[in-house]
Structure 1
Amino acid sequence: MTPAASLNPSGRLAGTHGSNAANSADEARLAPGDIAVGVIIGRASEYFDFFVYGIASVLVFPTVFFPTETRLVGTLYAFAIFALAFVVRPLGTLLGMSVQRHFGRSVKLTAALFLLGISTVSIAVLPSFGTAGALAVWLLIAARVGQGLATGASWDGLPSLLALNAPPQRRGWYAMLGQLGAPLGFLVACGVFSYLWSSLSTPDFHEWGWRYPFFAAFAINVVALFARLRLVVTHEYERELEAAELEPCSVRELASQQGGNVLIGAFASLASYALFHLVTVFPLSWVMLYSQQDVLQFLSTELAGAVLAGMAMPVSGWLADRVGRRTTLGALAVAIGAFSLATPWLLGGDDIGQDLFILLGFVLLGLSYGQSAGAVTANFQPRFRYTGAALTADLGWLIGAAFAPLVALALSARFGLGAVSLYLLSGAVCTLVALRTNRAISQRD
C-alpha cells in the first residue's frame, strides 16, 4: 500500500484521486427525499388550481355563467368546460417539450406556470353572464383551455427521476410521495370554499366571494414557481436528469416503438382516475341537486375524506413495497369495483349513507391513487421515459377523469345512480385488463 492510499475509519481506501472523485460523486448525488420535495410542491399547487375550478363548477358557475338554464343543465355545461383542460393537456405537453428543446427546461417551466397563474387569476376577474352575456362564457372557456395547456407544459420529469433514484425496496413509498399533492390541494381548496360559503350571504358569495380562491391559486402558483425553479435549474438536477436520459424524444418514434406502453399505462390507472372525480367533484353536484343535506355539512365531510386519503397514501406505499405495485393496483381495482356496486345505496341514501360514500371513497382513492402514477412506466426504454410518462398521465386523465363528472351527472339524472355504478365498474375492469396485459408482456420479454 502506498503512503497516499491509507484506510479511513470505515475501512475504505482514502487519499487517492480516484476514490476522492467517487466520494464526491456520491455526495453530489441527489437524495430521493430532496427530489420528493420538488414533486410535492409542484403537484400540490397544480391540484389546488384543479380543485378550485372543480368545486366552483358546482357551487358557482351554474349561477354566474348559466343563469338562464336549469341548475342541472348549468352544472352539465360547467362540467363540459371543466373537461376541456384535460382535452388540451397532451397538446400542452408537446408544446412544452418543444419549448424545452429550443430554450431549456427553466424557460419552459417558467412560461408554463405563468400561463397557469394568469389563466387562473383571469377567472377571478371574469364578468358574469348578466354583465357580458355569452362573452363571459367564452372567456371562461379560454381561461380553462389556458389552464390545461399550462398543466401539460409544466411537466418537469421529477416523478420519473424520483422513481429512478428511489431505493429498490422502497419504490412504492417514493412513488406515493408525489401523489400527496392531491389530498393536500383538495384539503386547502375545499377548506377555502367552506369558509366562504359559511361566512357570506348567498348573494355576496355569488357576486364576489367565489373569486378569492382563484386569487389565492395565483399566489400559490407564484410561490410554487420559484420553489420548483430553485430545485430544477440547479446543476445537480440537470446532471441527474441528463444522466437518466429524461429529455424530450420524438413522439412519432415513441408511438411507433413503445406506443403500446402508453396505452397500457393509461388504462392501468383508469379505475383510480375515474374514482378521483366520482368522490371529489361529482358527489357535490348530486347533493346540490338531489339531496336535502346541507352543503356546508357535506363539504366538511369531504374535508375529512381528504384527510383520510392523505393517511391512506402511505399505506399504499407500504403495501406496494411488500406485495408489488401491480398486485396492489389489481387488488384495489377489485375493491373499487365492489365499492361501485354500493354507490346507489350509499350516495342515494340519507345523510349517513352519503357521508359513508365519501369517507370510504376517499380511503380507496388514497390507496389506489398513491400508486397510480407511473404504474408501468418502467417498461419504457430510458430515452422514451420522459415523454412516455408525461403522455401516459395525460391520456389516463383524458380517458378516466376528464368527462367523469359530466358523464356521471348526466347518467344519474337520466337513469339513476345505478348507471354511475356501471361507469365506475367499467374503469375497474379496464385497469385489471391493462395490468394483466402488462404482466403478460413482461413475462414474454
Structure 2
Amino acid sequence: MYQPASAALAGSGYESSVSLAGAHTDEDVTPGEIAVGVIIGRSSEYFDFFVFGIACVLVFPGLLFPFLSRLDGTLMAFAIFSLAFVARPVGTAISMAVQRRWGRGTKLTLALFMLGASTAGMAFLPSYATAGTTAIVAMIILRIGQGLGLGGSWDGLPSLLAMSAPKDRRGWFSMVGQLGAPIGFVLAAGLFAYLHSNLTSAEFLSFGWRYPFFVAFAINVVALFARLRLVVGQSYAERLQELELQPVSVTKVMREEGGNVLLGAFAALASFALFHLATVFPLSWIAMYSEQSIGDVLEVQIIGAMLAAIAIMFSGWLADRVGRRILLGTMAVLIGLFSFATPWLLGAGTVGNNIFLLTSFILLGLSYGQASGTVTSNFSPRFRYTGAALSADLAWLMGAGFAPLVALGLSARFGLGAVSLYLLSGAICTLAALRINRLIERKE
C-alpha cells in the first residue's frame, strides 16, 4: 500500500503544499508516511469491529445465549454490538481531555491499548454454560471498552491530509482513511472463512473463533507504533498547530457549534446506514433464512470488499471532478433507489444474495469514500478537530450502530421491506443535510 500512496501524493504536488517542515530532520514525516499511517490505523480499528460483528452471527448466539432461539440470540448479540457505538462519543470526550493535559501520544497509546485489550480479552471469554450470566456481563464490559478505545483513537491524520491537500485533490486525499474499512473487513472475513472451513463445527465453536481476537491485539500493536511515529514528531505537531487541529472541550464544541456537528453526522447518514447492512446484517439473514453456506457468503463478501476498495479510490478521483457534496448526494439517491430492490434480492436465493452483497459493497465504497468530513468546513478552525470526531461518532451511532439489530429484528417480524425503509431514511437524511448546508452557505 505504501508505494501507490506515496506515488499519488508525490505526483499531486502535495509535498510542496504541505511543507511539514522547512528543513529536513530525523523527525520529518513525509506525506506518503502519513497516508500509510492513516490506512494502517483505520484498518486495525475496522478489523477489531468486524471480528466482533462476524462473531455476533457465527459464535455469540450459541456461546452466550444458548437458552434463546437462534434469532433471539443473534438479536441479543447485536444489542451488545451496538453498545460500542453508544460508548464511542464518551470515549471521544474523555480522550480530548486526556490529550489537552498529557498530549496526543499518551491519548493514542491509552486508546489503542484499551481497544486492543478489550478485543483480545474477548478471546478468553467463557461460555454461558461455564460462567452463566457472568459471561454476558463480561462481554458487555469488553464491548463498551472497545467503543471507548475507538472514540479515543482519533489522531487528526485524515484531517491533516484533507486540509493540506491541493484544492483540486481534496477528494482523493479524503478517501485515504476510508480504505481502512474494506482492508479491515477482508482481513477479518478471510480469517473467519479459513477457520470456519478448515475446522469442525465443534473445534470452531470451542477455540477456532478465538484466534481472530488474538490477532486483533497484534495488529493494534503494529498500528500503535506506526501512528506514534507520526503523532510525536515535531513536524507533525507543528503542522497540526498551524492548522489549529487541536482538542477542544466536547461541551464547548456542542455549545458553540452543535448544529454543525449534527449537520456533519446527518450528511453522512446514507453511507453509514448502508455500512452494516452490507457487511454484518446480510451474513445473519442469509445464515438463518437461506441455504447458502457461511463460507460462500464470506467469500462473496470478501470479493465485495475488494470492489469497495476500488470504488473508494474511484470516489476520490470522481469527487475532484464533480465535487464531494454532489457525489455524496448522488450516491444517497442511488442508495435510496437500491433500497427498493433489497427485499427482492435477499429473497431471491443465492444469486439474489450475491447480487445484493456485491452491489451494496460497490455503493458503499462510492459513498463512504467521501462520507468523512464533507461538511467539516462549516466548523471554525479551532473546533474542526473535535467537531469532525464528534460528527463521525454521531453518524456511526445513528446510522450504523443499531443497523444490524433493527434490520434483523424488523425484517424477521415484518419482512425485508424494513431494510428498505432503513436505507431510505438514511438517504433522505443525507439529502436533507446537504440541502440545509447549501442554504447556509448561500446566506453567508
Same fold (TM over 0.5): yes
Is the 8 Å Cα contact of residues 266 and 430 (structure 2) preserved in structure 1?
yes
Alignment correspondent of 1:120: 119
Percent identical among aligned pairs is 63
Alignment correspondent of 1:362: 361
Alignment correspondent of 2:318: 319
With over 3 angstroms needed to count, the CA separation of the structure-2 counterparts of 1:24 and 1:398, relative to structure 1, is closer
Is the 8 Å Cα contact of residues 96 and 249 (structure 2) preserved in structure 1?
no
The 5 A counterparts of 1:103-252 are 103-252=102-251
Shift of residue 252, structure 1, vs aligned partner:
3.0
Alignment correspondent of 2:15: none
Alignment correspondent of 2:57: 58
Shift of residue 442, structure 1, vs aligned partner:
1.1
**Does 2:397 align with 1:407?**
no
With over 3 angstroms needed to count, the CA separation of the structure-2 counterparts of 1:79 and 1:24, relative to structure 1, is closer
Is the 8 Å Cα contact of residues 312 and 366 (structure 1) preserved in structure 2?
yes
With over 3 angstroms needed to count, the CA separation of the structure-2 counterparts of 1:267 and 1:279, relative to structure 1, is same
CA deviations on 1:83-117 (whole Å, 9 max, x unpaired) are 00000100000111111111111111111111111
Alignment correspondent of 1:7: none
The aligned amino acid for 1:363 is I
Shift of residue 319, structure 1, vs aligned partner:
1.1
Distance 2:144 2:254 in 1: 25
Shift of residue 443, structure 1, vs aligned partner:
1.3
With over 3 angstroms needed to count, the CA separation of the structure-2 counterparts of 1:385 and 1:127, relative to structure 1, is same
**Does 2:265 align with 1:266?**
yes
Distance 2:157 2:325 in 1: 22
Is the 8 Å Cα contact of residues 31 and 165 (structure 1) preserved in structure 2?
no
User: C-alpha root-mean-square deviation of aligned residues, in Å?
Assistant: 1.3
Alignment correspondent of 1:19: none
Shift of residue 378, structure 1, vs aligned partner:
1.2
- Tell me which structure has the larger Cα radius of gyration: 1
Distance 2:292 2:325 in 1: 39
Aligned-partner SS, 1:180: helix
CA deviations on 1:277-321 (whole Å, 9 max, x unpaired) are 001000000011111111111111001101100111111011110
The aligned amino acid for 2:305 is A
TM-score (normalised: structure 1): 0.93
Shift of residue 243, structure 1, vs aligned partner:
1.1
With over 3 angstroms needed to count, the CA separation of the structure-2 counterparts of 1:344 and 1:221, relative to structure 1, is same
Distance 2:33 2:427 in 1: 34
Residue of structure 1 aligned with 2:22, choices 19, 22, 25 = 25
Aligned pair count reads 424
CA deviations on 1:367-405 (whole Å, 9 max, x unpaired) are 000000001111111100011000000010000000000
The aligned amino acid for 2:422 is Y
With over 3 angstroms needed to count, the CA separation of the structure-2 counterparts of 1:23 and 1:277, relative to structure 1, is closer
391-400 or 35-44: bigger deviation: 35-44
Unmatched segments (≥5 aa) in structure 2: 1-18
267-276 or 254-263: bigger deviation: 254-263
Is the 8 Å Cα contact of residues 158 and 176 (structure 2) preserved in structure 1?
no
Distance 2:142 2:203 in 1: 23
With over 3 angstroms needed to count, the CA separation of the structure-2 counterparts of 1:261 and 1:308, relative to structure 1, is same
Is the 8 Å Cα contact of residues 32 and 166 (structure 1) preserved in structure 2?
no
The 5 A counterparts of 1:75-94 are 75-94=74-93
Alignment correspondent of 1:309: 308
